[in-house]
Every structure is written in C-alpha cells, then in structure tokens.
Structure 1
Amino acid sequence: MNQTIFLKWLQEGNINIPSTLLTNYKQLKINEKELVLLLQVHYYLERGNDFPTPAEISAQMTIDINECHELLSQLIRKGFIEILDGNSDTGIRYERYSLEPLWNKLIEQFLLNNKKEEEALIEKEESDLYTCFEQEFGRPLSPFEIETLNMWVDDDQHEMVIIKAALREAVISGKLNFRYIDRILFEWKKNGIKTIEQAKSHGKKFRQHQTAGYKVEQREESSSKKAVPFYNWLDQ
C-alpha cells in the first residue's frame, strides 16, 4: 500500500520554479495571491494545459472562480501573463497563456539588482581608497587630490588595488605626494602592469637594481656617505 502511494507521488512529478521569482516577486509588486496564481499557471503549462480555466485554477487555491478571474485579468494588465492565439494543424483556433513577460521582468530585475550591488561595491571600494590615502597622508584629502583620485579611476581606468599599490610604493620610497604616485601609475600603465603581483615584482626589481647600482657607486666613490635611494619614478 505504502509503495503504491509512493509511486503515485513520484508520478505526480515536479515543476521547476526559478528561485529568483521567490526572492524578487515583492520588488515586482506581486502579492502572495498573485504569486500562487502564477505558480498554478506555470504548473498547468508544464503539464501541457496551455489555457487552464479560472475554475481549474481556483479549485487548487483558496479563492473562488470570480476572484481567480479577476486576479488573472489583473496579472494580464500588469504585464506578467500574456494570452497568445493561433491555429492548430487542423485549423482550429486556440488560445494559450504565456509567462514569457514574467520571465523577462524577472531577468530585468535580476540585472538591475546585480547593477545596484556592483555600484554599491564600487562606492565602498572608493570610500576605502579615500580612507587609505587619508591615513597615509595623516590628513583629509584636498578637493584637488580627490579629483585626481577620481581621474585615476574614471579617466585613466586604473584598478583601485593598483592605485593602493602605487600609494604603498610611494610610502616605501619616502616620496608621499600625488605627483610621485601619478608618475608610478603612468610607468606601470606604460609597462602593461595590471595586477598587484606585477606591481610588486616591478617595484622589487627596480629597488634591487638601485641597490646594486649604489654598491658599485660606493666602491668607486668611497668618500660618499649617501643613504641607499629607492627607485625614483619622477626621474624616469
């Protein structure tokens, strides 16, 4: 007996419901009754019934036929359900429901949500970028400096991690000013440096080169007592 019931349950099958419908229906201004009705229409379409009647739909809901008819009309007016018509192979005219407008609206909402998330992430990254500069400079940035930062991001298309790397390079070199950082970014862009790893490697090579050159200079000019200089980007 139990096995028979289980087999019957399996034969009922399943329907695929996009999770984005459940997470975004409120943003589309769909209420719970409308949502369940849409799911019922989806259920019938999946089962091959392209034009279920209000009586068929309401029989599986807690609403009567009249309310079901009104909700269907409302969803059509709001652009979530479309009624298509055509002719069968035998020439009989037919009508069917289409949920394509609903899926298109869901796609648009999904893309909009993604765009908002990306904009929020960029805004946070920019805020973090300003904070990094203000911490290193030990003061609030001037309007000109903020404009320069925006220019590096918007006009020059430097990644924010690269700008932060250039800031660190300036700190290491003991030349903490925007002109020096701008020169670093210019040199990195000219040399095709786009990742933090490339930036670190490039800076390390130049510092090693400068240190080696200084040791030779020490041997040649024993009287000189200069400190080991870092690579000066402004001299390039």
Structure 2
Amino acid sequence: MNKDQFIMMQESGSILVPTALLSYYSKLGLNEEELILLIQVIKYKQQGNHFPTPNELSEHMSISVATCTTLLRSLLQRGFIFIEESKQNAILHESYSLNPLWEKLYLFFENSYEKEKQDEQKEEEQNLYTIFEQEFGRPLSPFECESLAMWIDQDDYDPIIIKAALREAVISGKLNFRYIDRILFEWKKNGIRTIEQARTYSKKFRQNQSRPVKQTEADEKYERKVPFYNWLKN
C-alpha cells in the first residue's frame, strides 16, 4: 500500500459521531478524556463489538487500562452509559448502552430551548412596558403597571395580543387602560389568540361601528370585575 492509497483509505473510513455531542459535551459535564472514551465506545459498537474491554479501549487512547476502568466506572455511576444484559442460547451477553447519554443531550437542548423561550418572554414583557409608556407619553402609574402585569400573569394574554389591543385603542382614539381591557376581554371571549385573528376581528368591528348599540347592551357584555380609578378618566 503506497501513501496515496493509505490517505484515501483514511478519508473514506469513518464513524458516525453526532455533531451535537462534539459541540456540547462540556455542557453535559464531560471532559476531553471522557469524550474520547465515549467515541471509542461508539466506534467499537459501530464495528460490531458492543462491549469492548478497558484493555481494548485504552489501546487506542493515551491512558492506562486502570485509568480507562476508572473513567468507565465514573460514566456508569453518573448515568452517561449503562450495561445491558441479554441472553442468547442460554449465554449471557453484555453491551454498553449509550441511551442515557443521548437522553442527557436531549434534556440539555430541551432545557436550553425553554430557557431561551423564558428569556424572550421576559424581554417581550419588558418591551411591553416601554411601548405603553411611549404611547401614553409618560411613565405608567403603579395601578397601570399592575393592570399590565395582570394581563400577562393572570389572564395569560400574549404580549403580542396586548400590543395589538393597544394599537386598536390608539386607532380608536381611546387611549386608556379600561378601553384596552375591554378589547382584550372581547377578543378572549371570541377566541382571538393570534395577531391575524385580532386584525380580522378589529376590521370587522370597525366596519360595523355604524350600527347603533345601546349603552346598556354594551355594558351587559362586559362584566370584568376589575377596580378602575379616577386616573383612567384623565
């Protein structure tokens, strides 16, 4: 075998190692020695040897058999791998399972996604206060801040829907929290959950504004039990 043949053989031969493992192993609490050991286990499993010995594993690493044994024991105790047992023809077979490793990797991504969503939600809520203050042209009062927090935490309105209700109040020339609250109440009652639904509903509402509605009828539809103060009438 000449050099070119050797190089070609190295480039054609490969094992499958998930990119996610190489990118985030340290986030899982693994160090480089443990990573290479796991890659060796993956290599042997892909080659058909599902339970390589510490001797076999350390032979392709720069660690001793004793160190390899210690690392394997640590990975087992920390729940990154476990040993599966099966019987074939009354003979007990053992193999390394990497399922715990993939489960940990999955949970890492799931938790990261949830944290990212929470951070985005928190940022969206903070932006909401800023947008309201910009539209009102002044800092929000404590009561207004409490109403805004109630919409988010108690009523579970999406910040995007709250902003849409604020926009509707601006268009209608009725920029006060009571009017915005009534918009949100009507939208929730009519199953409005997305910005597209809110736009469609508002468009139809404005088209029907020419039809007279008795004040008593409108009041009967809105039954929100929320105390509103004199500052709302300013």
Over 3 Å counting, the alpha-carbon distance change for 1:25 and 1:11 in structure 2 is closer
Deviations 1:163-193 (A, max 9, x none): 1011011112221111110001112222333
Deviations 1:35-69 (A, max 9, x none): 11111111111211011112211222222222222
Separation (CA, whole Å) in 2 of partners of 1:194 and 1:80: 42
Q: Any idea what SS the aligned residue of 1:180 has?
A: helix
Which position in structure 2 is the counterpart of 1:179? 178
Separation (CA, whole Å) in 1 of partners of 2:51 and 2:40: 11
Instruction: Note the C-alpha offset of 1:92.
Output: 2.2
Greater shift in the superposed pair: 2-11 or 35-44 = 2-11
Give the root-mean-square deviation of aligned CA atoms.
2.6
Separation (CA, whole Å) in 2 of partners of 1:5 and 1:174: 78
Deviations 1:120-152 (A, max 9, x none): 111111111111111112222233322222222
Separation (CA, whole Å) in 1 of partners of 2:103 and 2:177: 47
Q: Which runs of 5+ in 2 are unaligned?
A: 213-217, 222-234
Structure label with greater radius of gyration: 1
Whether the 8 Å CA contact 1:81–1:97 is kept in 2: the answer is yes
Whether the 8 Å CA contact 1:180–1:234 is kept in 2: the answer is no
Q: Any idea what SS the aligned residue of 2:83 has?
A: strand
Which position in structure 2 is the counterpart of 1:158? 157
Which position in structure 2 is the counterpart of 1:225? none
With the length of structure 1 as denominator, give the TM-score of the two structures.
Answer: 0.79
Q: Any idea what SS the aligned residue of 2:157 has?
A: coil
With the length of structure 2 as denominator, give the TM-score of the two structures.
Answer: 0.80
Over 3 Å counting, the alpha-carbon distance change for 1:24 and 1:234 in structure 2 is farther
How do 1:41-60 and structure 2 match up within 5 A?
A: 41-60=41-60
Q: How many residues align?
A: 215
Separation (CA, whole Å) in 2 of partners of 1:123 and 1:234: 34
Give, as a single letter, the amino acid of the residue that structure 2 aligns with 1:45.
K
Greater shift in the superposed pair: 28-37 or 18-27 = 18-27
Does residue 119 of structure 1 match 2:118? Answer: yes
Which position in structure 1 is the counterpart of 2:228? none
How do 1:1-236 and structure 2 match up within 5 A?
A: 5=6, 8-9=9-10, 12=13, 14-89=14-89, 91-210=90-209
Separation (CA, whole Å) in 2 of partners of 1:115 and 1:193: 25
Over 3 Å counting, the alpha-carbon distance change for 1:7 and 1:25 in structure 2 is closer
Q: Any idea what SS the aligned residue of 2:27 has?
A: coil
Q: Any idea what SS the aligned residue of 1:85 has?
A: strand
Whether the 8 Å CA contact 1:84–1:95 is kept in 2: the answer is yes
Deviations 1:88-127 (A, max 9, x none): 22x2223221112211211222211111111111111111
Q: Any idea what SS the aligned residue of 1:93 has?
A: strand
Separation (CA, whole Å) in 1 of partners of 2:193 and 2:81: 48
Give, as a single letter, the amino acid of the residue that structure 1 aligns with 2:87.
N
Q: Any idea what SS the aligned residue of 2:93 has?
A: strand
Separation (CA, whole Å) in 2 of partners of 1:85 and 1:41: 17
Whether the 8 Å CA contact 1:152–1:158 is kept in 2: the answer is yes
Whether the 8 Å CA contact 1:183–1:234 is kept in 2: the answer is no
Instruction: Note the C-alpha offset of 1:11.
Output: 6.6
Over 3 Å counting, the alpha-carbon distance change for 1:198 and 1:51 in structure 2 is closer
Over 3 Å counting, the alpha-carbon distance change for 1:205 and 1:77 in structure 2 is closer
